[in-house]
Structure 1
Amino acid sequence: MNTFTQSALSSPVSSVKLKAGDFKRVKDLLYEYCGIFLQEGKEALVQSRLMKRMRKLGIGSFSEYLDFIERPESGGEFLAFVDVLTTNKTHFFREAQHFEFIRKHIIPTMGGRNAKWWSAGCSTGEEPVTTAITLHEARRTTPWSSVKILATDISREVLKVAKNGVYPSSRMMDVPDSIRRKYFESIGNDEFKVKEQVEEMITYGRLNLTEDWPLKGNFQVIMCRNVMIYFNRQTQQQVVQKFYDQLQPGGFLFLGHSESVSSNNKGFKNLAPAVYQKI
């Protein structure tokens, strides 16, 4: 029997409220681990998501749960804690102007060179898949040699989806029919799987953007869109500087449309909304 069951029975999880002190602990743990800054007003969201984990474990209070995830014997529950509190909203061809910029301004300059691209914060895979499709579509008129796309995220759960490459029809709403037929295979149950010609371009891996990166750099393109809005200003500047170090001279950095490189950072020039080039 789970050692927490008796506590759970005396204090049903459904009736437990997240106290101010517990919310502060959650904020501090998440920020220290991965730089995500939870703002005030997120208490209800945190309570709802963590209660799912508490029910599964039979833990009857938030303070007990937070004590548990910090102990070695938690069995990786801390990473599950991070997973449930990480927002992973995305869709195919999101912020389509960026893929149009890639098609018009980056691919024509590639020639026969091999290139490394990086989707940082790839979530369930829609961004790297869209990038690979954009490259394939352009190849009909603009030849390029080889592009390898590294796709990373901090969440193990979304990476499982991305690696599997299977999406329900509800997630295909923004994919034109011609693209769907060419690059996805219907596998029944109203689901579609990414075809091999796209999958073979992408390598998925887990990475915490606020820790040291075991990467060799020399990326031509880095896409980190709608991720840094969850960081405070200091962490944003640190991550942008690390992106700068990983880009080749003249390389491109794509951010979300609500994100920007600080005006104090003279290492980038702004080419288009949320598109920067390393000087």
Structure 2
Amino acid sequence: MRSSVEQVSRPVGGLKLTNDEFQKVRKIIHGYSGIFIQEGKEALVQSRLMKRVRKLGLSSFKEYLNYVDSDSSGEEFLALVDVITTNKTNFFREAKHFDFIESRVLPELRGRSVKWWNAGCSTGEEPITTAITLLEAKQHTGWGSVKILATDLSRDVLEVAKQGVYPASKMAGVPQDILRKYFSHDNGHFHVSNEIRKMITYGRLNLMDRWPLKGPFNVIMCRNVMIYFNRQTQQELVAKFHQLLEPGGYLFLGHSESIPKENRSFVNLAPAVYQKR
């Protein structure tokens, strides 16, 4: 799961986002979420803001940004954050991580209760994949209670995750036996089972804010999120993950992310897989 900013190639007709307006949006997003919007992403920001401008019936990006500033409820500010940050994910993404979980992590948890955190859960595919992996392994491994916490910055994607309903196009990478076992099919959409839903608690969390979380966690998955932060913020996040993990607990990052070798708090076991020393 990730909150990110992607490039788009087609310009939006009509209104033109000025450089000053673009810089203001960059500052707003970074100050609130820690995410850096790179230079050259003007077309993307313009197309995303246009959705809010049109919905509100405004005539310019300047008018929209003034509206954000004047909205004392803070609702439009959050709508701006939601529309600028995009969340891409899929079921069983980076499948080797789940192979590692099944072969290495879960046997170590045999007979124990499991406490898991999927940070940056997007629309729910990652925590659902996590739950399926745990349930499939539980048949021959066995442990106590299972609690999966799934968090994200965006209210929009969390609403999708809580609904647990996905179009058929989202299910391409899911094996047929898993589909039959953990999803029901209705009118072109797949509904995740109640068994899975009961394992996962969804909540909104800005990683830049204070974390009201209680550890220790056995596993933290924060994949394809830190790549959008600067080095200092990445180091701060890794330190906080370390505090919340149990001794020997596991941290999974995205395959384009890593912890510097000079950080002696974790040992690297596999690509983007770390264990707390």
**TM-score between both structures, scaled by the size of structure 1:** 0.93
Question: How far apart are residue 75 of structure 1 and its match?
Answer: 5.1
Question: How far apart are residue 91 of structure 1 and its match?
Answer: 0.2
- In structure 1, what is the equivalent of residue 139 of structure 2? 140
Provide the aligned length of Structure 1 versus Structure 2: 266
Measure the CA separation in 2 of the matches of 1:75 and 1:249: 40
Identity %: 64
1:1-279 mapped onto 2 (5 Å cutoff): 14-73=13-72, 76-186=75-185, 188-279=186-277
Measure the CA separation in 1 of the matches of 2:63 and 2:261: 44
Query: Aligned letter for 1:105?
Result: R
Measure the CA separation in 2 of the matches of 1:68 and 1:74: 11
**TM-score between both structures, scaled by the size of structure 2:** 0.93
Query: Aligned letter for 2:258?
Result: S
Measure the CA separation in 2 of the matches of 1:197 and 1:109: 23
Contact kept in structure 2, 1:92 and 1:175, CA below 8 Å: yes
Measure the CA separation in 2 of the matches of 1:218 and 1:70: 39
Question: How far apart are residue 143 of structure 1 and its match?
Answer: 1.2
Contact kept in structure 1, 2:266 and 2:274, CA below 8 Å: yes
Q: Which has the higher contact order (CA 8 A, sep 6+)?
A: 2
SS of residue matched to 1:73: coil
Question: How far apart are residue 72 of structure 1 and its match?
Answer: 3.7
Point out 4+ residue stretches in structure 1 off by more than 3 angstroms. Answer: 72-75
- In structure 2, what is the equivalent of residue 5 of structure 1? none
Contact kept in structure 2, 1:123 and 1:162, CA below 8 Å: yes
Q: Which runs of 5+ in 2 are unaligned?
A: 1-11
The superposition leaves residues 162-220 of structure 1 with CA deviations (integer Å, 9 ceiling, x where unpaired) of 0000011100000000000000011x220010001111100000000111000112001
SS of residue matched to 1:235: helix
The superposition leaves residues 83-118 of structure 1 with CA deviations (integer Å, 9 ceiling, x where unpaired) of 111121100000000000000001001121112100
Greater Cα shift, 243-252 or 94-103: 243-252
Question: How far apart are residue 73 of structure 1 and its match?
Answer: 3.2
Greater Cα shift, 82-91 or 71-80: 71-80
Q: Which runs of 5+ in 1 are unaligned?
A: 1-12
SS of residue matched to 1:141: coil
SS of residue matched to 2:72: helix
Larger radius of gyration: 1
The superposition leaves residues 33-77 of structure 1 with CA deviations (integer Å, 9 ceiling, x where unpaired) of 010000011110100010010011122222221222122435501
Contact kept in structure 2, 1:90 and 1:123, CA below 8 Å: yes
Measure the CA separation in 2 of the matches of 1:128 and 1:45: 28
Measure the CA separation in 2 of the matches of 1:213 and 1:251: 19
Question: How far apart are residue 14 of structure 1 and its match?
Answer: 4.7
SS of residue matched to 2:92: coil
SS of residue matched to 2:238: helix
Query: Aligned letter for 2:127?
Result: P
